[in-house]
Amino acid sequence: MGQKRKAIETDELRKMIKDGRKKFVRLNEGAALYSVGINTFREWAIDAGAIYRIKKITLVNTNLIDEYLEHFRDEY
């Protein structure tokens, strides 16, 4: 059995990413960070080519997700 991971608060996670201390997130962390469901976040990550699979761990590159989402920005 694996060890239980400590839950990270969304505000703390945002600060870690902004400071450059955390570039990759797990699917559940990313869903909380972007305020969407896990399946939606997974679809975004696949479309952005931001998924990294290492053994049984799935990590998502937040920089690639941000670039992907910028393509949908509307200019008013």
- pTM attached to this predicted model: 0.75
What tokens were used for 65? Answer: 């997700």
Query: Which of the two residues, 21 and 69, has the higher pLDDT score?
Result: 69
Q: How does residue 7 score in pLDDT terms, banded at 50, 70 and 90?
A: low
Q: Which SS3 state, helix, strand or coil, does residue 59 take?
A: strand
- Is the distance from CB of 46 to CB of 69 less than 8 angstroms? no
The most confident of the ranges 22-26, 62-66, 69-73 is 62-66
Nearest-5° Cα angle at 54, 60 to 35: 20
Tens digits of residue pLDDT in 38-60: 999 999 999 999 999 999 999 99
**pLDDT above 60 (res 3):** no
